[in-house]
Amino acid sequence: MWSLAWPWALLALPLPLLVRWLLPPARGLSEAGLRVPSLGGFETLRDRSDAEQLLNWRVLIAVLAWCLLVLAAARPERIGDELDVPVAGRNLMLAVDLSGSMDQKDFELAGRRVDRLTATKAVASDFISRREGDRIGLILFGERAYLQVPLTLDRDTVKILLLEAEIGLAGEKTAIGDAITLAVRRVHEQEGESGDQVLVLLTDGANTAGEVQPLKAAELAQQVGLRIYTIGIGAETMDVSSLVGGRRNINPSADLDEATLTQIAQLTGGRYFRATDTASLQDIYSLVDELEPVEEPESGFRPVKSYYAWPLAAAFVLVGLLALAGLLQRNASRRAVGGEAHAG
């Protein structure tokens, strides 16, 4: 679609006519006279019709050049088809606890009792599917922290490797501080990329291993602008069989260090969540979606290509032709007059 960026510039089209109407005509040119003894030296001017025809062509060319100049000032442009502009998403790291306590079967999924990791895999996979446009990385930690997937736009790969994770793969203990430090290191390596830096850390215990304390790691995260959302997973009560017969209620999440997880989130500008069942875990990931919404591509953008240079160049060419024609005519007139004078 063709358009004009500054259509109001077309108002300048009648400007030469206004100048001609408003300014007084040149005085004395039509009344000027010269007495000469003979008209022999002016024989080259006898064909006035040719001169008038040449003058008309010059006027037409001048008018065309002016119209082209005004058109160039209006900036003609071609507007392309509507495009969606991709936006830079977040750097989103997921840190999942694979310590031995994640084997506790205090969650339900599709009507059957499952362990905490199985429930986490199902809910986190749906969360990953919704994060279109984000660069997602996966950290698995237990006694040590491992980068399973670096930051990538390939969400399917992240989901596959998350589903393949097994309890105890990284050791039986829990190194929360090392997991945060590893995320900080990855974010620091992605420093040149735009977008927010977010870590969603899920664990069911306290820091019992690793080289870096969780709060010290949180301070490092704060320095690099890494926002951490912590999730404490595990039921609050569970009915189990007693050794002496009968059943009793226990707290399967007694080892969960909620105080430290809360401090980590507050220190980095995130939030702490408590997931006691599959439904609450789903709600938590949905809430993270709301707190860190997926960037939508900007619709309605149309590429614009400007073409003002073409009428501008054509106007300059026409003006140059007018100047050249005037120069040639003056030279021809001078040679003609000079030849008559020499003959006289």
Concatenated DSSP letters of 106-150: -EEETTEEE-HHHHHHHHHHHHHHH-TT-EEEEEEESSSEEEEEE
Strand partners, 107: 114
Cα distance between residue 199 and residue 121, in whole Å:
17
pTM equals 0.62
pLDDT in tens, the chain (344 residues): 788 888 888 888 888 888 778 777 655 444 455 555 555 544 544 445 555 555 677 778 888 888 898 988 888 888 877 655 545 568 899 999 999 999 999 899 888 999 999 999 999 999 999 998 889 999 999 999 999 999 999 999 999 999 999 998 888 899 999 999 999 998 877 755 556 899 999 999 899 999 999 999 999 999 999 999 999 999 887 665 655 555 667 777 888 999 999 999 999 999 999 999 999 999 999 999 998 887 665 555 677 788 888 988 998 988 888 888 777 777 766 666 555 555 55
Give 85's strand partners.
298
Classified by CATH at the fold level, domain 86-298 comes out as Rossmann fold (3.40.50)
- What span, in angstroms and rounded, lies between the C-alpha atoms of 126 and 65? 64
Per-domain boundaries in the chain: 2-22+50-81+303-338, 86-298
Nearest-CA neighbor of 146 among 181, 103, 193, 104?
181
Q: How far is CA 139 from CA 84, 136, 145, 158, 243, in A?
A: 32, 10, 7, 10, 38
Element containing residue 42 per DSSP (H, E): none
Q: How far apart are alpha carbons 231 and 120 in whole angstroms?
A: 11
Nearest-angstrom CA–CA distance, 137 and 227: 15
CA angle 103, 238, 108 (to 5 degrees): 60
SS3 17: helix
**Measured between alpha carbons, how far apart are the two ends of the chain, in Å?**
66
Neighbour-count burial of 164, counting CB atoms closer than 10 A to its CB (0-12 exposed, 13-18 middle, 19+ buried): exposed
* Cα–Cα–Cα angle for 341, 342, 344, rounded to 5 degrees: 65
Torsions phi, psi for 196 (to 5 deg): -75, 155
